[in-house]
Amino acid sequence: MKEEKALSHYARLLTLPVKQDVAISQQEIADRLCTSSRHSRTLLQDLAARDWLTWLPKVGRNQRSTLHLRYTLAELKQQLAQVAIEAGRYEKALTLLAGDQRQFCSLLQQTSGVAVREGQLHIQLTYPRVLQPLLPHLPLRNSERFLVRQVYACLTQCDAHGQVQPQLAHHWQCNDEATVWQFFLRPNLTFHSGQPIDAVLIKALLTRLQTLSEYAQELAHVRDMTATRLCLTVTLSSPDKSFAALLSDLRYSIQPPEQVHPECQDNTFQDAVFNSTGQGCGPFQIEEHSERCLRLRAFDQYFALRSLTDSVTIWQFEQPPSERIEFGRREQDRQEASVSSSSVQTRVENGGIFLLFNQGTRLQTDDDSTDVEIPTLSSAQRRYLSRILSPALIQQQGETLTELLRVAVPAYNLLPSWTKIIPSSAWGDEEAIAPLPARMDIAVYDHQVIMDCAQVLSEKLRQLGVASEVHVYTLAALQARATNHQLTEAIVITSLHVDDNLPVSLYRWFCSNTVLRCVLPAAVNDWLDQALSAMRAECEVNGYLPRLESLATTMIAEHWVTPLFHHRQTLCWQGALHGVQMTDWSWPDFKNVWVEG
């Protein structure tokens, strides 16, 4: 008997008391089941075999049997929904729960982890917000950056130490002046759709990326590109000893050129269309991307080692954020696993949250509808504000903060390993209080921790007699306003995302981050451009970090940038999982997870 039919028969018995013995004749059972006495016996045997009830029949006319219904209808449906989820039948689970998203989310969290079905390894996770479209050229938050790495590949890859390795290009070379670079592609490369990848396509992609504002600065020295089927030649107007490393950045992930639409740079997430058919060439391909879930499947034609994980499903629900990503072996008894085989990896992230004082040109409209330039903060004002708008002030709020912010680590530079720039007040320097503007609004994007920080700092400004509001944008909208020089707020709180190619990620942030470049004075932008151009010409990528640390230290000392927090990243898992490794984005490396048996 099908489960749906059995559930219907069980529901008819629920006019009887539940979870207690009931003395009842066979005919009374048959009447409730709307069937014959003989058939009712068959139905009861089936329901008892499913362990939904116990039935102790007695022989003889008018003898009363003992019936014990073990579950209410809601409990049984929830149990069946959990079994359906563990078997990967999500639509059936939702039907059983009558579309109750809260219950569905709760069951997904209980069953999150790794499962083996029909010899294939499946990972299921829940995530506390809707994931944005996975397009490498769009503004991306941390988790989307990780997922882009799963779906796409680059010409090269670069690690945290600046070691460059092959990906789609098996070899590259440059002339002695580092102004002409050649990249030689592997043969027979394809996107997930089967569309071929060759050097002509990659040239077209790079040409289209040059038209986007965030790529303009770092590709400004690209003078010419030519391509044969398997060789891309790039001619630069100035030396760049690490151009091959630049192309390892996830923003240069290889995608069909037609996926790059210049107007997408300025769209908010609400206006963007989910890229359910987004074509990459990485270890996983997108099967579904909706507001409900993201499904990835291993790409069997991946140019490198095929993923050990066959599929990944990430369910998206609005819930309080946590610094933990947890998963385990679903078949294993969770109570036993938590005692005997739970594992944790934790670390402080590179990058973090920081505050910027808007020293760029800001205009406001006066009563005569005339644009008037807003005065920028003086050095004394920036120094004073950097001292009082501190991580310590935020963490004094204690339990009112989200978990992510309570466990965050105060930051004294852009990377936790870099020289700590300690505020002068740490040595008891009682600076004169600098007079502040009458109004100082704060711009943020919709990241819960950043919004929490902004509310605390805005309240502090109001206590000082400064009118202040927090303006919340999507990440795309914030970057669009910066691109169009429409950021009028005096303060911006945002984040630095660092990827697996650490020196390149940091270089790109200094070179091309639209928010950073918008709020810095023109003279400081010129200074940065000169320093970065000299760095490109003079050193390999493995020599970038000391120079970038020097730039960051200067910017913090001059109070153009004020670090606030580094996130604490935690990855937890249970059961006999192998190959679990936390990535730079705090997510597990999906493609290398495996189980025995």
CA–CA distance, 402 with 565 (Å, rounded to integer): 14
Residue 331, pLDDT score? 42
pTM for the structure as a whole: 0.85
Asked if 496 and 414 touch (Cβ cutoff 8 Å), the reply is yes
Higher pLDDT, 373 or 380: 380
Q: What percent of the chain has pLDDT over 90?
A: 67
Residues 6+ away with beta carbon under 8 Å from 194:
none
- Whole-angstrom Cα distance, residue 362 to residue 378? 15
The beta-carbon contacts of 363-371 under 8 Å, at least 24 apart in sequence, are 363/488, 364/488
Question: Residue 282's pLDDT band (boundaries 50, 70, 90)?
Answer: very high
- Return the structure tokens found at 70: 């073990």
Residue the block writes with tokens 């503004």: 139
Q: Confirm if 440 and 468 have CB atoms less than 8 A apart.
A: yes
What pLDDT digit, counting tens, does each position of 13-29 carry? 999 999 999 999 888 99
- Supply the DSSP symbol for 329: B
Q: Sorting pLDDT into bands at 50, 70 and 90, what band is 369? A: low
- The residues facing 365 across adjacent strands are 371
Q: What is the mean pLDDT of residues 326-349?
A: 58
> What residues are paired with 495 via a beta bridge?
353
Instruction: Give the pLDDT mean for 86-115.
Output: 83
Angle at 200 between CA 196 and CA 203, to 5 degrees: 120
Residues 466, 438 contacting (CB under 8 angstroms): yes
Instruction: Give the mean model confidence (pLDDT) for residues 312-320.
Output: 81
Mean per-residue pLDDT of the chain? 88
Would the pLDDT of 70 be above 60?
yes
Q: Between the CA of residue 6 and those of 1, 39, 50, 70, 200, what are the distances in Å?
A: 7, 13, 9, 14, 60
Task: Answer yes or no: are the C-beta atoms of 352 and 566 closer than 8 Å.
Answer: yes
Q: By the 8 A CB rule, do 499 and 587 touch?
A: no
Q: Is 587 helix (H, G, I), strand (E, B) or coil?
A: coil
Interatomic CA distance for residues 497 and 354, integer angstroms: 11
User: What is the token pair recorded at 530?
Assistant: 């000169």
Average pLDDT on 494-502 reads 95
Confidence of residue 445 (pLDDT cuts 50, 70, 90): very high
- Residue 334: band (very low, low, confident or very high) from pLDDT cuts 50, 70, 90: very low
Q: CA–CA distance from 347 to each of 350, 422, 583, 593 (Å)?
A: 9, 22, 11, 20
What is the largest distance, in Å, between two alpha-carbon atoms of the chain?
Answer: 103
Angle between helices 73-86 and 3-12 (to 10 degrees): 170
Contacts of 565 (CB under 8 A, 6+ apart): 352, 353, 391, 394, 405, 408, 409, 410, 411, 449, 453
Which comes out higher in pLDDT, residue 146 or 278?
A: 146
Report the run of H or E that residue 103 belongs to, with start and end.
helix 101-111
Q: What percent of the chain has pLDDT over 70?
A: 89
Cβ 143 vs Cβ 234: under 8 Å = no
Record the tokens describing residue 404, joined without a space.
Answer: 């992510």
Q: What proportions of the chain, in percent to the nearest 5, are helix, strand and coil? A: 35, 25, 40
10 phi, psi to nearest 5 deg: -60, -40
Interior CA angle at 137 toward 133 and 138, to 5°?
45
Q: How far out from the chain centre does Cα 500 lie? A: 14
pLDDT at 328 over 60: no
What pLDDT score was predicted for residue 338?
45
DSSP category for residue 178: S
pLDDT for res 321: 55
**Among candidate residues 317, 272, 319, the one with its CA nearest the CA of residue 294:** 317
Q: Indicate the range of 237-241, 423-427, 526-530, 577-581 predicted with least confidence.
A: 423-427
Alpha-carbon distance 528 to 517, whole Å? 10
Going from the C-alpha of 104 to that of each of 87, 98, 287, the distances in angstroms are 14, 10, 21
Q: What is the pLDDT of residue 572?
A: 80
Where does 112-247 have alpha helices with state H? 142-151, 199-209, 213-216, 243-246
Q: What is the pLDDT of residue 266?
A: 45
Closest CA to 152 of 24, 29, 304, 34: 304
pLDDT: which is higher, 276 or 210: 210
The whole-number average pLDDT for the span 78-97 is 88
**Contact assessment for residue 246 and residue 240, using Cβ atoms and an 8 Å cutoff:** yes
Residue 246 and residue 239 in contact, taking contact as beta carbons nearer than 8 Å: no
Give the list of residues 6+ apart from residue 544 with CB closer than 8 angstroms, or none: 162, 242, 503, 504, 506, 507, 535
- State the pLDDT at residue 202: 98
- Please give, one letter per residue, the 3-state secondary structure of 368-412: CCCEEECCCCCHHHHHHHHHHCCHHHHHCCHHHCCHHHHCCEECC
In this structure, of 2-11, 161-170, 334-343, 406-415, the range with the lowest mean pLDDT score is: 334-343
**Residue 492 or 336, more confident:** 492
Mean pLDDT of 572-590: 83
Report the Cα–Cα distance between both ends of the chain, in Å, rounded: 32
pLDDT at residue number 72: 94
The string of pLDDT tens digits covering residues 388-434 is 999 999 999 877 888 888 889 999 999 999 999 987 654 444 455 78
Which has more confidence, 423 or 557? 557
Q: Which residues pair with 244 in a beta bridge?
A: none
The CA-CA-CA angle for residues 52, 54, 60, to 5°, reads 140
Instruction: Specify the DSSP class assigned to residue 432.
Output: P
pLDDT at 333 over 50: no
Average pLDDT for 272-288: 78
Distance CA 24, CA 47 (A): 16
| Domains, the chain, ordered by start | 3-71 (1.10.10.10), 142-262 (3.90.76.10), 352-566 (3.10.105.10)
